[in-house]
């Protein structure tokens, strides 16, 4: 059965590479627009983010992590305020060697599109993103980590997230949102 799936996938990608794939329909465009508005990253956004990060996905959508393991990244739209606009959290964990690759958590990178190109605006490792209720320049502050005692905070400067030179305690995270979920 695996052989049949492998042959089918190879045939699909060979035809797509030759330009034989069907042209997108109006229904495809409407589906992509609805996905973008629903808070999910579209296939085009996921592909563009992988390219912007200088990564390559295999036929299954997996990429190579820092431990040279093939893993499936997560893409989550992150509501971090009107300042940064539409932000997609790209999260990559690990396989059996995750602790030696990333410490006690995954790598999360916030990406946003600016002038038609996707660029990194925040990187958190290890742990993940903790989106705080406090804001600067209409962008939510972000802490890195979890769980622990206190976490370093970054704030939006109008272009990117920068170190705020402060931490937030575990006890002050009552209304915070954690990514990845």
User: pLDDT band at residue 137, thresholds of 50, 70 and 90?
Assistant: very high
Q: Is 129:178 a contact under the CB 8 Å cutoff?
A: yes
pLDDT above 70 (res 118): yes
**Average pLDDT estimate for 75-94:** 92
Both tokens assigned to 48: 């563009």
pLDDT above 60 (res 82): yes
User: pLDDT band at residue 44, thresholds of 50, 70 and 90?
Assistant: very high
Domain boundaries, the chain: 62-179
**Average pLDDT estimate for 119-146:** 90
pLDDT given for residue 14 in this prediction: 35
**Average pLDDT estimate for 41-67:** 93
Both tokens assigned to 99: 């602790």
């Amino acid at each position: 059965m695996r052989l049949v799936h492998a042959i089918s996938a190879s045939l699909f990608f060979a035809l797509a590479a030759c330009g034989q794939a069907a042209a997108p329909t109006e229904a495809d465009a409407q589906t992509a627009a609805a996905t973008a508005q629903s808070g999910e990253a579209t296939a085009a956004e996921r592909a563009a983010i992988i390219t912007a990060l200088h990564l390559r996905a295999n036929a299954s959508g997996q990429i190579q992590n820092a431990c040279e393991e093939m893993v499936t990244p997560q893409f989550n739209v992150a509501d971090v305020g009107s300042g940064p606009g539409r932000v997609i959290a790209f999260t990559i964990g690990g396989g059996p060697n995750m602790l030696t690759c990333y410490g006690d958590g995954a790598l999360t990178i916030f990406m946003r599109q600016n002038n038609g190109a996707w660029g990194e605006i925040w990187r958190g490792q290890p742990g993940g993103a903790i989106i705080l209720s406090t804001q600067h320049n209409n962008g939510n502050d972000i802490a890195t980590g979890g769980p622990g005692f206190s976490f370093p905070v970054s704030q939006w400067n109008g272009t990117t997230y920068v170190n705020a030179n402060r931490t937030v305690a575990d006890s002050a995270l009552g209304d915070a949102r954690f990514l990845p979920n």
